[in-house]
C-alpha cells in the first residue's frame, strides 16, 4: 500500500476561515424555489408557505450565505414583478430556463426565508437586460428605511424594516453567449463600474462582486478579468469565479482529481487581479467570490433528457442530479481547495441548494432528504473553524488523462486555538487502491482523536433516494487512531475523510 504524509504545524497559517465560504445558491431554476424552499400547502409549510423540513435541513447543512435570484435567471428578471400583493404580480416567461415564472415568490419572501434559515443574503442584480437605474432602485427598495416612494412601497408590502443587504453581485456571467444581454469585457466593465459608483453613493460600505469569467475554459478567460478590473478595481471587493465538474465516461481518475483545475483557476484569477492592482499602483487586494461551483452533469441538460423542457411550464424537473458517492468525494475535494485558498477566496456559493444540482431533494407534498454531497459540506461547515493551516503534503502521484500527474492525497486542515480543535480533511484520489495516511501532531504537543468519519463505497454509483435516503452517509473511520503523537489512518479508494482532534491550548 502506498503512503502519504502530511506535515502540520500551528505556526504556519494561510488565513482565518471566512464563514462566507460555506454559502449556497437559490435560483428560479427548475424546482429550487417552487416545491423546493417554497410550497404552500405542504404538510410542513409555515404561514408563509416555506417548507419546514427544508429549513431544518438548510440549518443542518450549515449554509451561511445564499446567492439569489440567479444565475442566468437574473439577466432577464424584473425585480418589481416579485414584490407587492401576490395576486397583482405578473406571470412572465423566463427564457434562461424556458419556464413560466409566476412571481409568487420574490425579494420579500426570500428575505423572510433567509431570516428563518439564519443565512446572509447575497443579492444578484440584472445587468443584462437592465442597468444602473434599476439596480439603485432595487437597493433603495431593499435597504432604505422609509420616507421615499420605493422604501415606503416595501413598508406597505409588509417589510417594515429595511432588509439591510450588504453583499451584491453586479450581474451574472456577462461573458457568456447564453446570457441575456451578453457584453464584451469593455462594455460590462464600464457598466459595472458606473453601477458600483452609484450604489456607493447610497452606501459606501456595500460589498460588491464583479463578474469574472463564467468558466476557466472561456476563450476570453484572463483577458476578461483584466479588462473588467481595470474599470472596477477601486469600486468592487470581489471578482467572481464559476466552475462545474462531472464524470466523463469511466475516467474516475480525472474526475477525482478535478479540484486541481479549481486550484489553477483560483491561482490564475488572483494573479490577474494582482497584476491589475500593480498596474494601478494600488495596495488594495481583490478577493475571489467562487459563487457557483459543484458537480453538474451539464451534457445531460438537453430537452427531453431531464434538462430544459420543450414547452413552457412552471417549475419543471431540471438537472435533478441523483448524486453518487464519488460525486460526494469530489465535492469534499472542492471544499478542500476553497479552504486552501482562504487568503483570497473569502466567499463561495455551492450551486444550488434544493432539487436543481442540489444538496437537498424534495418531492411535492412529500419528504425532503439529504443527497450524498450534503454530508461533506455539512461536516466541513461544522468543523472547519479558526484558521486554515499551511500544510506540506508528501504523497505519491496518480497519472490522469485530463490533469496529468496529480498527488494521490488532497488535504487541508484548520485549527481553532480557542477550542483546541484541529480538523483535517483528506481525499484519496486513487479510484481503485487504498492509501495509508499519517500526520505528526508534535507541533501541537500531541492530540486526542475526537471524531473520524469517512465517505466511501464499493458501489461508486450508490446514491440517496426518496426510498433509501441514507444509502450514502459518513461512517466511523475504521482503524483511525493517534499513536505516539501521530494521526494514522487507512484511506479507502475514492474516499473523503475527516478527522477532528483535540490538542492542547496555549
255-270: b (≥16 Cβ within 10 Å) or e: bbbbbbbbbebbebbb
DSSP 312: -
For the chain, give the number of residues: 506
209 and 236 Cβ atoms separated by less than 8 Å? yes
What is the sign, positive or negative, of the torsion defined by CA atoms of 211, 217, 218, 219?
positive
Residue 14 in contact with residue 387, Cβ under 8 Å?
yes
End-to-end Cα separation, the chain, in angstroms: 37
Backbone angles phi, psi at 489, to 5 degrees: -160, 155
Which of these is catalytic: 173, 225, 321, 490?
173
CB within 8 A of 491, min separation 6: which ones? 409, 426, 428, 434, 435, 436, 437, 454, 497
Mind spelling out the 3-state secondary structure of 373-399?
CHHHHHHHHHHCCCEEECCEEECCEEE
299 noted as active-site residue: no
Could you count the other beta carbons within 10 Å of the beta carbon of residue 38? 24
CA–CA gap between residue 135 and residue 427 (Å, rounded): 42
Rounded to 5 degrees, φ, ψ at 20 are -65, -10
Cα dihedral value 419, 59, 244, 68, nearest 10: -120
| Residue position matching grid coordinates 460526494 | 328
Please pick, among 101, 134, 292, 321, the residue that the annotation labels catalytic: 292
- CA atoms within a 13 Å half-sphere pointing along the CA-CB vector of 408: 24
The SS3 call for residue 259 is helix
Q: Which residue has the cell 420579500?
A: 108
Q: Which of 311, 308, 310, 329 is nearest to 319 (CA)?
A: 308
Under a CB-based contact definition with an 8 Å cutoff, are residues 13 and 412 in contact?
no
Here the cell at position 464 is 440517496
Cell of residue 202, nine digits: 447610497
Q: Is 187 a catalytic residue?
A: no
Is the separation of the CB atoms in 154 and 107 below 8 Å? no
**450 close to 374: Cβ distance less than 8 angstroms:** no
Residue bearing cell 478579468:
225
Q: CB–CB of 290/243 below 8 Å?
A: yes
Contacts of 186 (CB under 8 A, 6+ apart): 227, 231
Burial 441-469 (b: 16+ CB within 10 A, else e): bebbebbebebbbbbbbeebebbbeeeee
Instruction: Enumerate the active-site residues.
Output: 173, 292
Amino acid at each position: 500500500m502506498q503512503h502519504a504524509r502530511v506535515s502540520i504545524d500551528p505556526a504556519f497559517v494561510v488565513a482565518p476561515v471566512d464563514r462566507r465560504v460555506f454559502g449556497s445558491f437559490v435560483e428560479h431554476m427548475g424546482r429550487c424555489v417552487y416545491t423546493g424552499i417554497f410550497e404552500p400547502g405542504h404538510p410542513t409549510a409555515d404561514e408563509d408557505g416555506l417548507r419546514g423540513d427544508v429549513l431544518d435541513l438548510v440549518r443542518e447543512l450549515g449554509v451561511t450565505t445564499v446567492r439569489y435570484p440567479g444565475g442566468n435567471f437574473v439577466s432577464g428578471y424584473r425585480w418589481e414583478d416579485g414584490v407587492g400583493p401576490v395576486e397583482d404580480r405578473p406571470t412572465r416567461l423566463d427564457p434562461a430556463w424556458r419556464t413560466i415564472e409566476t412571481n409568487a415568490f420574490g425579494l420579500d419572501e426570500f428575505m423572510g426565508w433567509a431570516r428563518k434559515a439564519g443565512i446572509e443574503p447575497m443579492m444578484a442584480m440584472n445587468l443584462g437586460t437592465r442597468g444602473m437605474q434599476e439596480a439603485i432602485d432595487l437597493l433603495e427598495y431593499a435597504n432604505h428605511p422609509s420616507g421615499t416612494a420605493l422604501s415606503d412601497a416595501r413598508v406597505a408590502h409588509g417589510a417594515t424594516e429595511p432588509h439591510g443587504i450588504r453583499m451584491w453581485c453586479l450581474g451574472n456571467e456577462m461573458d457568456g453567449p447564453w446570457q441575456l444581454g451578453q457584453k464584451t469585457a469593455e462594455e460590462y466593465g464600464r457598466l459595472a463600474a458606473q453601477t458600483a459608483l452609484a450604489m456607493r453613493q447610497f452606501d459606501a460600505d456595500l460589498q460588491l462582486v464583479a463578474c469574472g469569467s463564467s468558466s476557466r475554459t472561456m476563450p476570453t478567460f484572463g483577458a476578461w478579468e483584466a479588462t473588467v478590473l481595470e474599470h472596477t478595481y477601486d469600486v468592487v471587493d470581489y471578482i467572481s469565479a464559476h466552475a462545474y465538474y462531472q464524470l466523463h465516461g469511466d475516467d474516475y481518475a480525472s474526475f477525482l482529481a478535478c479540484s486541481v483545475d479549481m486550484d489553477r483557476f483560483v491561482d490564475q484569477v488572483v494573479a490577474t487581479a494582482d497584476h491589475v492592482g500593480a498596474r494601478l499602483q494600488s495596495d488594495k487586494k481583490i478577493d475571489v467570490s467562487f459563487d457557483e461551483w459543484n458537480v453538474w452533469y451539464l451534457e445531460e441538460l438537453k430537452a427531453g433528457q431531464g434538462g430544459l423542457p420543450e414547452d413552457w411550464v412552471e417549475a419543471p424537473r431540471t438537472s435533478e442530479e441523483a448524486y453518487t458517492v464519488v460525486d460526494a468525494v469530489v465535492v469534499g475535494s472542492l471544499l478542500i481547495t476553497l479552504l486552501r485558498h482562504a487568503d483570497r477566496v473569502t466567499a463561495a456559493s455551492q450551486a444550488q441548494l434544493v432539487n436543481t444540482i442540489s444538496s437537498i431533494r424534495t418531492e411535492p407534498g412529500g419528504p425532503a432528504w439529504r443527497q450524498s454531497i450534503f454530508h461533506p459540506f455539512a461536516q466541513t461547515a461544522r468543523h472547519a473553524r479558526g484558521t486554515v493551516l499551511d500544510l506540506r503534503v508528501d504523497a505519491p502521484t496518480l497519472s490522469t488523462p485530463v490533469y496529468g500527474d496529480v498527488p494521490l492525497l488532497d488535504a487541508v486542515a484548520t485549527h481553532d486555538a480557542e477550542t483546541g480543535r484541529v480538523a483535517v480533511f483528506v481525499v484519496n484520489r486513487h479510484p481503485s487502491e487504498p492509501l495509508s495516511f499519517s500526520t505528526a501532531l508534535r507541533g501541537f504537543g500531541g492530540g486526542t482523536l475526537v471524531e473520524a468519519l469517512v465517505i466511501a463505497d464499493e458501489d461508486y454509483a450508490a446514491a440517496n433516494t426518496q426510498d433509501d435516503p441514507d444509502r450514502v452517509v459518513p461512517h466511523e473511520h475504521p482503524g483511525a487512531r493517534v499513536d505516539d503523537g501521530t494521526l494514522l489512518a487507512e484511506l479507502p479508494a475514492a474516499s473523503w475523510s475527516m478527522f477532528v482532534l483535540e490538542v492542547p491550548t496555549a
